[in-house]
Amino acid sequence: MYSYFNRDISWLSFNYRVLLESEDLSMPVYERIKFLSIHASNLEEFYKIRVAEHRSVIMKKVHSDEDSAEAEQILEEIKREVTRQQQEFLRIFQDEILPELARKNIILYMDDVPLPEHRAFIGNYFTDEIYPFLQPVMLLKEDIRIFIRDNRLYQVVQLRKKETGRIFYSIIKIPYAKIPRFIELPSIDGKYYYMFAEDVISVNLSEIFIGYTVEGSYNIKISRDADIFINEDDSQTNLVETIRKKLKKRKIGDLSRFVYDKRMPSECVSYICETFNIGPEDMIPDQVHLNMEDLIKLPNPSEKTLEVEPVIPIRIPELDRANRLFPIIRKKDIFFHYPYHTFDYFIRFLMEAATNPHVAEIMVTQYRVAQDSEIINNLINAAKNGKKVTVFVELKARFDEENNLFTSEMMKDAGIKIIYSIPGLKVHAKVALVREKSSPATNFGRSYAYLSTGNFNEKTAKLYSDMAILTSNKKLIREIKQLFEVLETQNINVEFKHLWVTQFNLIPNLKQMIAKEILQAKKGNKAHIILKMNGLQDQVMIDELYKASEAGVKIDLIVRGICCIIPNRSYSRNIRITRIVDKFLEHSRIWYFYNEGEENLFLTSADWMKRNLYRRIETAFPVLDKTIKQTIIDILNIQLNDNVKACFIDEKLNNVFKNDNCTEKVHAQRDIYTLLK
C-alpha cells in the first residue's frame, strides 16, 4: 500500500542540496568552496560504505535482504545521479567559482598555459620540491608491481618510445604527504596565482621520462570498501584484536569505483582496466582534477576576508559568575545548544568532577571524541585523583575505531575501567553521570547527569548543531544509573519509565505517542507531531507516520539527510518535510508531540534509521523544565519558518526552495543565535 524512497537515492538528494549551497551568492567565495569540498568528501565516503555494500551483495560476500538484481538496479540509479551531480559540480566550479576568485585577484590555473613569468618558478619548484619524491612505475599487464591505494591521486602517463615508436604506460603517485595540493606561485600586479600539484608534475614530465615522448597524462583515483565486518561473538579481548587486524586491511578493501579523467584515450582506459582488473561497472569518467574534497585546502591570501566570520560562542553569565556548577545544577536544569553556546561548560563540568573531593564516581559513554581530547584528559585526572571512572567505549564507531582504541588504552593505563562494545549492538547514547559520596546523614550521594544529542567532542561541537542538558533530576538520574548497569552487566531485567531506551521501551513509547495524536485527530482536535533528525528510513515507523497523516495529524519533519518518506501522496498529504543545510551541520534530534496541549518534548541520540532503532543502544530523554522546553519549541518553529536556507523535499526527491514572498527573511541559524543570546 505504502511507498518509500530508496535510502541511497534519498541520500544523494541530500548531497545535491549540499552542492547547491556552493551557488549561494550571498556567501563569501571560500565558504562556497567549502561546500564543494564537503560534497566531494561526502561522496567519497558514500562509495566506501554504501556502494561497497551493494557490490558485496552482488558478489555474495554479505547476507542481506537485498538480492543481486536489486543491488545492480540501485547501482545503476546511483551512477546516473552521481554523473549528473558531477557535471553540475564542474559547471559551478568552472563557471561560477573560478570567475569569482579571479574577480578577487586569485587565479587558479586549470588547463591554462602558465604565464611566462611563472615558467621558471614552476620548473625550479618541480626540481627542488617534487622530483625527489616521485617514484614512476612502468605498467605491464603481466607484471603488476603497484597497488593503487584508496582515495589517493595517481597520474597515468602515456609514453611513446622515441627509438621504436612503441606505446608504454607509467603510473605516478602524487606525493601529497610531502607537498601541498595547491602550489603558490609568485604574485604579479597584485594577483595571487596557484597551481594544482599534479599540473606542476604534468608540465615537467619530459624531465622524468628521458628517451620517451609524453603523449598525455591523466589523473585517476580508486575508492575501496572501507567497512569493517565484526564477528559479534568475539569476547572483548578478541574484539580489540579483531578490530586492529581489520583496520590494517581497510586500505586494501575491494574496489568500489574507479574515477578517471574523461579525456583519457579509450586505449589508455582499456589498458589500465585490464592491468588492474577493473570492470565497466566500476568506471566513472570525471573532470581533469580529481579528489576535489581538497578544495578546502586552497589558500586564502586575503586574510580571511573571503570567508564567513566565525560565530563567537555564547557564554552564560550565571555560570561564569559561579565558583562551581554543581550547586546551580541542583537548583535547575541547564540547557546548551551548540555551537551557539560554548562547549567549555561541559569541559568545566568534568574538570570540577575530577577535582571535587565529594565526587566518588564518573561514568561516560564514548562514541566519537576529538584527538588530544580535553574530555579524556579530565577523566584521566579524575582517575589519578582517586575517583572511580568508568568509560564505555564504542570500538565500532565507523572511521573512529583507531582513535577509540588509542584513547581507551591511554585511559586504561591511567586506571580507568574500560568497557568495550556490546556484541551485536553499537552504543550510541550520549550520557555522562557524576556521583558524589554518600553522606552519613542520608546514606545517599547526590548525582549529576549530562545528556546530549551529540558526541562528547569539543572539535565537532564548534561545527555541529546539538543540544544538551545538565540535570540532577532524581527520576532521570535513577534511570541513567540503570542504563550504565545495562551497559556494564548487559542486564535486560530493567524497567525504564522516563528515559526511552532502544532494545527496551523506545519504539513502543513512540508508537504510543503517535497513537495518541491519531486519536485526537479522529476526534477533530488539534494533533501535531514535529520530528527533527538526521535520517528517517525505518519503514515500520514510517508506516506509523503515514497512518497518522491519513488520520489528519499534522506532521512536520525536519530531516537533514536520508528521508524515505514520500510526501504529497494521498496517505502523506499532512506530512511536510523540511531540509536545512547551512554553516553548521544540523545534528540535533528532537521529538515533539502536542498531546492535548501538554506538549511532550524529547531530546535524543537516535535517528529513525534501522541501525539506530534495532542495532544500537540509544536514549531519548524528556525535557522537563518548562523554560527550556519553550526555548526548544521556539527553535523548532524558527527552523520550520526558515525561508533562506530551508527547502522542502517533494515527491520526486527534489530540494524545493521556499518561495513564500515574505518580506521578512527567517534565517534559522542566524535567528537561533539571536534568540539564545
Residue 99 and residue 105: Cα distance in Å, rounded? 10
Q: Tell me the Ramachandran region of residue 165: left when phi exceeds 0, alpha when psi lies from -120 to 50, beta otherwise.
A: left
* Straight-line distance from the first to the last Cα atom of the chain, in angstroms, rounded to the nearest whole number: 48
CA dist 196 and 180 (Å) reads: 9
Quick one: angle between helices 374-384 and 401-413, nearest 10?
20
Q: Helix, strand, coil proportions of the chain in percent (round to 5)? A: 40, 25, 35
The CA angle 567-571-576, to the nearest 5 degrees, is: 30
d(CA 556, CA 342): 29
Q: Are 430 and 467 in contact (CB under 8 A)?
A: no
d(CA 188, CA 194): 12
428 catalytically annotated: yes
Are 553 and 518 within 8 A, CB to CB? yes
Beta bridge partners of 216: 158
β 191-196/655-657 pair status: unpaired
Q: Who contacts 107 (Cβ-Cβ below 8 Å, separation ≥6)? A: 101, 191, 192, 193, 194
Alpha-carbon distances, residue 337 vs 329, 373, 626 (angstroms): 17, 20, 16
Burial class (CB in 10 A: 0-12, 13-18, 19+), 303: exposed
Q: Phi-psi region for residue 228, left (φ > 0), alpha (ψ -120 to 50) or beta? A: beta
**CA torsion, ordered 530, 533, 535, 536, to nearest 10 deg:** -20
C-alpha cell at 301: 591570501
**Cα distance between residue 434 and residue 446, in whole Å:** 9
Partners of 320 in the β-ladder: none
CA nearest 81: which of 507, 73, 355, 557? 73
Give me the half-sphere count of Cα atoms (radius 13 Å) on the Cβ side of residue 481.
14
b/e 488-524 (16+ beta carbons within 10 angstroms → b): eeeeeeeebeebbbbbbbbbebbeebbebbbebbeee
Distance CA 256, CA 478 (A): 47
CA distances from 168 to 165, 198, 200, 272, 276 (A): 9, 20, 22, 11, 16
Q: Are 246 and 227 in contact (CB under 8 A)?
A: no
Out of 428, 498, 528, 587, the active site residue is 428
DSSP string, 605-647: S--BSHHHHHSEE-EEEE---HHHHHHHHHHHHHHHH--SSEE
Q: Please say whether the beta carbons of 513 and 600 come within 8 A.
A: yes
Beta strands in 93-165, from DSSP E residues, in sequence order: 106-109, 137-138, 154-161
- Active site positions, annotated: 428
